[in-house]
Structure formats: structure tokens, C-alpha cells
Amino acid sequence: MARVSEIINRQGNAEILLDVRGKPLQVSTAIGATELAPGDWVKVMRAGNDLQLLGKLASTPEAAMTRALAQRMPWQQSLDSGLAKLMTALNQGVIPELSPGQLPAARSPQPLPEAAKQALETLLGRLPASNTLTPGSGSQSNTVQQIRQWIAESGLFAESRLAQTPSAALPDLKLAIGRMITGLLAEQSGDAVSAFNRLTPLATPELVKAPLQFPQSVALSPPATGSEPTSVGQTLRMLAGMLNRITVNQLHSQILSARGGGEAAAATSTMLLDLPWVTPQNEPRMAQLRLEQHKNESSSKGDSGKRTAISEWRLNLSVDLEQAGVVNFEVSLRQQEVSARVWAEKQDTLKQVNQELPLLRRSLTELGLDVTDLECRRGSPSYPTTKLEHRLVDTRA
């Protein structure tokens, strides 16, 4: 078995660089009707001094997701910085693209197209606000329902929601970004869709340095407020980067779920999502949420004589607060037992969190949970980084 690292020449006989057990090997072969691309796995056979290509291995769903993820990783735009620029566009307009013979200085900001404006206003109106939740209100049914709504509308489930309710008007972050793109493209001349597909999405530097670190180990740069209006082209590039960010989280979640079921004794489902919110000053910020479900067989048997599956839920929440700094929450729930750990980088925040721990314990107890462990630590937890790889053997078989 060998992995195709690079195809040097595609005309007739091709020079192919193979990765065989971690070592590069350049070979000449006639591709024929077989389409090869970097990342493909092939069967090769050595006959004397010749290396013969026997065929290409069928692509697995995980390999397809890996390729799609790798294509979008370098072009992610942080949602909070993107929303800050969109707020500027809503208030100050966008600069139209240059017309033939028009001087750059002659351009002045124009209001957003009506369709894009409506989509943006609806999105901003539904973003979570930090002053809508009060300490100790987690047991209230309306608070729980509101949190569920925010997560459902985060963009991570856009395709699933469309499949259930085929309506483009659904309140959803990813769909709202798509409507803004459509509204801006409608004002452009020529083949706007093809022009958009050729745009290079804008990327956030921190996400380029660690594209698959979730949550981010370092705080992202705070979004700039009160910036100058951007052009239509820059706005479209930024929206494309925001779409890439949501898509990366979707693909990343699927890959982690697929690997968790194959590499661990327990089946694992993972969801990664960015949850934008706004401060009382109407400034966009972002919380990063990682939710995992681990299913293990119980040691006892039920009435049917079969072992029952017990789920353990693990939640990681990372948020950068203006005064409190970066705060990370780790919560583990197994049946009625819950444990929680809070990480704070600032000493003052650490003291404040320790003062609030009794309220957290009381709130969890009111939900009918048995609190087994509750503590606060200085610093930040370490999270694993996903490494993209191709697997020849499905260990779940």
C-alpha cells in the first residue's frame, strides 16, 4: 500500500511521488483511465526492479471529509471579527466596485442591498446577549430553551434543518451568511457566482496558525470596532471566510465522531461550534463550545438480559470576557453524577469564581444532580489537536 503525495506530470506517463511507509519514492507509471490525486491510496507490487501500479483503493467517507476539511482550513475567518465588520457595513454601507473609467476617489459608501440588510438585521437581532442570562437561572425552562435555540441556530446544523424544513428563511447563522452573499451578488454585473467562487476568502491569522485547535489555546484578537467601510469585494471575501469557519467546524465534528467510534472502546459523538454573542455595548464576541457523548456498556444487565449503554457527556466551554479574561469550563455528566472544573487565567477572576462555586453547586443540585467534584484552577486546560491522516484499515469492522 502506498499514498500518492504528488503527481508531477499528468501527460501520458506520469511521474508520481509515493509515500511508502513514511519514505518518499518517485515512480513512472501510465495512469490510463485511472484518475489519481494527492492523498489517494494505491496498491503497488514489486516485480524484480519494477514497481507496478495495481489499482486505486476506494475512497472512504472519512477520506473525502479530510480532503474537504484540508481545502478550507487555511481560509477561516473568525465569526466575531466578521460580525464586527458587518455591523460597520450596516451602519456605514459598503464601497461599490470600480466601474470602467471610474477613479477610486470617486467612490463613496452605498447602503447594503435590501436583501443583505434584512438578513444581517435578523441575524444580529437573534444573537445571544450577555445581559439576558442571570446567575442561577439555569434551572428555568425558558433559559434552557433559549440556550437550545442559540445552539440550534449556530450554523452547525444548517443542512439538517433544511432537510427537515426546506425553507431558506430559517433563522440560522450559516443560512443568514448565504443570504447576505446572495444579496450582494445580485447587485453585481456579469457572472457574479463564478466571480465569487474565484475570490480568495479572508482569514484570521490566529486560525491560520492553529487551524484545528479547538477551542483555541490562545485568545483571538478582539474584533475591531468603528473601522472604515469595506468594499463589496472585501465584504464577500470576509463572508466566504466566515462560511469556511462554520464548514470547518462541521467537517471537524464529523471526523472526530468517525474516529472516536473506531479508535476507542466507547462510541463517541463530537460537536464543535462557535457561538457568537454580543456585549451590552453591542460588540460581538465569541464562545467556543465542544460537546462530546461517550457511550459505554453498563456492567449490569437489564430486564432483557442485555447490557445497557450508559452515556457520559462532556462539555467544554471557552469564552474570553473583557474584564474577567479567558475562562474555560469543563463539565462531565454521567447519569445523575456531575463534576465541573473552571479554569481562569486572571487571579482576580479565580477568586470571584471560587466565591460563586456554592451558587453553582446549589443550581446543579436543584436540577436533581449529584455533584461529585467542583473546583477552580488557575491557567487554562490543554486540548488535543486533530491531525489529518488516512487510514487503510477500518478498525470498526
> Is 316 a domain residue?
yes
In a domain, 194, yes or no: yes
Does one domain contain both 50 and 74?
no
CA-to-CA separations, 301 to 19, 202, 308, in angstroms, rounded? 48, 54, 6
Residue 35 shares a structural domain with residue 158: no
**Average pLDDT score over residue span 56-78:** 82
Q: What is the pLDDT of residue 196?
A: 87
- Here the CATH number for the domain that contains residue 50 is 2.40.50
Residue 329 is inside which H or E element, if any?
A: strand 325-334
Indicate the SS3 state at residue 202.
Answer: coil
Does 192 have pLDDT greater than 70? Answer: yes
When computed from its CA atoms, the radius of gyration of the chain, rounded to whole angstroms, is 25
Q: How distant is the alpha carbon of residue 50 from its chain centre?
A: 45
Q: What is the pLDDT of residue 107?
A: 74
- Provide φ and ψ at 359, rounded to 5°: -65, -40
- b/e per residue, 92-108, with b = 16+ CB within 10 A? bbbbbeeeeeeeeeeee
**Does one domain contain both 54 and 155?**
no
Residue 167 phi, psi dihedral angles, 5° rounding:
-140, 120
Whether residues 151 and 246 fall in one domain: yes
Are 197 and 128 within one domain? Answer: yes
The answer to whether residue 255 is domain-embedded is: yes
* Pair (202, 250) in one structural domain: yes
Domain closes at, from 38, 58, 78: 58
Tell me which residue of 291, 285, 346 sits closest to 320, measured CA to CA. 285
- The rounded distance, in Å, linking the Cα atoms of 351 and 343 is 11
Q: Are residues 351 and 217 in the same domain?
A: yes
Q: What is the pLDDT of residues 100-112, one digit of tens each?
A: 556 566 578 899 9
User: pLDDT tens for residues 15-27?
Assistant: 778 877 667 887 7
26 and 157 share one domain: no
pLDDT surpasses 50 at 116: yes
Q: In this model, does residue 341 exceed pLDDT 90?
A: yes
Amino acid residing at 219: A
Claim to verify: residue 188 and residue 254 sit in the same structural domain: yes
For 130, the enclosing helix (H) or strand (E) is: none
Range of the domain at 290: 66-95+113-300+307-378
Report the 3 state secondary structure along 92-121.
HCEECCCCCCCCHHHCCCECCCHHHHHHHH
In a domain, 384, yes or no: no
Q: Tell me, what amino acid is at 193?
A: V
In a domain, 386, yes or no: no
At 152 the pLDDT is 93
Q: Whose CA is closest to 277, among 151, 140, 118?
A: 151
Model pLDDT for residues 291-318, shown as the tens digit of each residue: 999 987 665 565 566 667 788 999 999 9
Note whether 39 and 73 are same-domain residues: no
pTM: predicted TM-score of the whole model, two decimal places: 0.80
Please check the confidence at residue 59 and state whether its pLDDT lies above 50.
Answer: yes
Q: What is the mean pLDDT of the chain?
A: 83
DSSP assigned state of 36: -
Half-sphere exposure of 270 (CA within 13 A, CB side): 20
Tell me how far the alpha carbon of residue 65 is from its chain's centroid: 13
In angstroms, the CA 189 to CA 319 distance is: 42
Count the domains in the chain: 2
Cα 395 off chain centre by: 26
52 and 78 share a domain? no
Residue 276 counted as domain residue: yes
Long-range contacts of 153-159 (CB under 8 A, 24+ apart): 153/126, 154/273, 154/274, 154/275, 155/246, 155/273, 156/246, 156/249, 156/250, 156/253, 156/271, 156/272, 156/273, 158/246
Assess whether 52 and 86 both reside in one domain: no
Q: Residue 104 domain-assigned?
A: no
Q: Is residue 322 part of a domain?
A: yes
User: Which range among 50-54, 168-172, 173-177 shows the weakest confidence by mean pLDDT?
Assistant: 50-54
